[in-house]
Amino acid sequence: MIDSELLKMLESTVLIASPSSRGLDGKVTYGTAVSYQAHVEDRRDMVRNASGEEVMSAGRCHLDSHYGSLSESARVTLPSGKVETIVALESTYDSDGPYQTVVYF
């Protein structure tokens, strides 16, 4: 569980929608977006995606818990309304196990 002091830093809300299907034209459709409390940073980082490739992210958001069901093909709607594709996910651990998910977009 994330520390209560860190929870105070999660001042924003982001929406994350997972892909639900792909049409014959290759266009992805997304399911219903889920709301998450987050701390959003516009910060470029070189990160590794699930395939092990290095990719450049435009920013990241810290979520209040470990969300193993999120996928790199999901999209995140930022507080500004801008929609980005998730390029990498990272879980942070402490002695009690996973407590935070970092979403790179």
CA-closest candidate to residue 41, choices 104, 92, 98, 96: 104
Long-range CB pairs of 18-27, under 8 A, 24+ apart, other chains included: 18/69, 18/70, 18/71, 18/73, 18/74, 19/71, 19/73, 19/74
pLDDT band, very low/low/confident/very high, at 94 (cuts 50, 70, 90): confident
Give me the pLDDT at residue 26, please: 87
Give me the pLDDT at residue 61, please: 95
| Length of the chain (residues) | 105
Contact 87, 97 (CB under 8 A): no
Taking the model in full, what pTM does it have? 0.84
The tens digit of pLDDT for each residue in 26-85 reads: 899 999 999 999 999 999 999 999 899 999 999 999 998 777 789 898 999 999 999 999
Give me the pLDDT at residue 3, please: 65
3 state DSSP class of 6: helix
Give me the pLDDT at residue 10, please: 87
For 14, how many CA atoms within 13 A lie in the half-sphere containing its CB?
Answer: 27
Q: Domains of the chain (ranges plus CATH)?
A: 4-104 (2.40.10)
pLDDT band, very low/low/confident/very high, at 2 (cuts 50, 70, 90): low
